Amino acid sequence: MPQTDFFWPPLRHAEGFYTSEVHAPGRLPVRTFLPTGYEPNYAYPLLVFFHGHGGNEEQVLRLAPRLSRRNYICIGLRAPQELGPRADGRLGYTWGADGRCDAFVEDYVFRAVEQSRRNYHIHSERIYLAGFCEGATLAYRIGLQFPERFAGIISLNGNMPRQGGPLLRLPEARSLRVLIGHGIANAVAPLALARQDHRLLYTAGIDVQMHTYAATHKLHPDMLRDINRWVMESINSQMEAAS
């Protein structure tokens, strides 16, 4: 098996949600979900969640226990641009459509991942970026520009960037796996664009799967079931290849 480096202390932690901060350069929140029966001797996959337009890190991380209560450590990050209060009274945020905040967000993501690996036992080769709607575009941007840092990209009801061409790191990006989940009645991010993304990634030689659902731009429950199955299949394939 390939050697994997870790930054974890052998501590016991309880299942649930935790909030911490990183400095990149300001104080930025990291919302963490720890699985039930957290075992410090097991190297967990890490899922990094990016919320959609008008969302926040708490809202998107509510998906974590619905995805699996046992299989993953998950973190949710907050976009840098404030939009104002949501219907529930909490502030909503945006990642920005033009990519102007990308360098800032990249540093935020890398610091949050590093902090998570120091605090918990995370497998360095099983780190996935998962974006919902607008957050999917960011997951594509970061994953395709830094493919050596991540195992895969998960796009839920989102699209690849349409400016500047994201596939800047071929052939390195062919080491990634990509899962696309999309609602067939999505008027915000049309299904036709998601199909274009699938064709482009497939043509580039990237291992990509696409699933469609009877949904609009809202999350369909089966998306979470398919994410769990896809990630666990990826881990099992890694273990078989290593043995």
Who's near 27: CB < 8 A, 6+ residues apart? Answer: 21
Mean pLDDT of 18-22: 95
Mean pLDDT of 211-235: 95
Residue 238 confidence (pLDDT): 79
Alpha-carbon distance of 216 to 183, in angstroms, equals 5
In a domain? residue 10 = no
In a domain? residue 50 = yes
Sign of the torsion formed by the C-alpha atoms of 18, 23, 29 and 30: negative
Mean pLDDT of 75-99: 87
In a domain? residue 64 = yes
CATH of the domain at 149: 3.40.50.1820
3-state class of 192 per DSSP?
helix
In a domain? residue 9 = no
In a domain? residue 3 = no
Is the pTM higher than 0.85?
yes
In a domain? residue 1 = no
Domain count, the chain: 1
58 is written with which tokens? 């708490």
In a domain? residue 6 = no
Per-residue pLDDT of 36-52, as tens digits, reads: 999 999 999 999 999 99
The range of the structural domain enclosing residue 136 comes to 16-242
**Cα separation values, 203 from 170, 196, 223, Å:** 12, 10, 24
**Confidence bin at 166 (pLDDT 50/70/90):** low
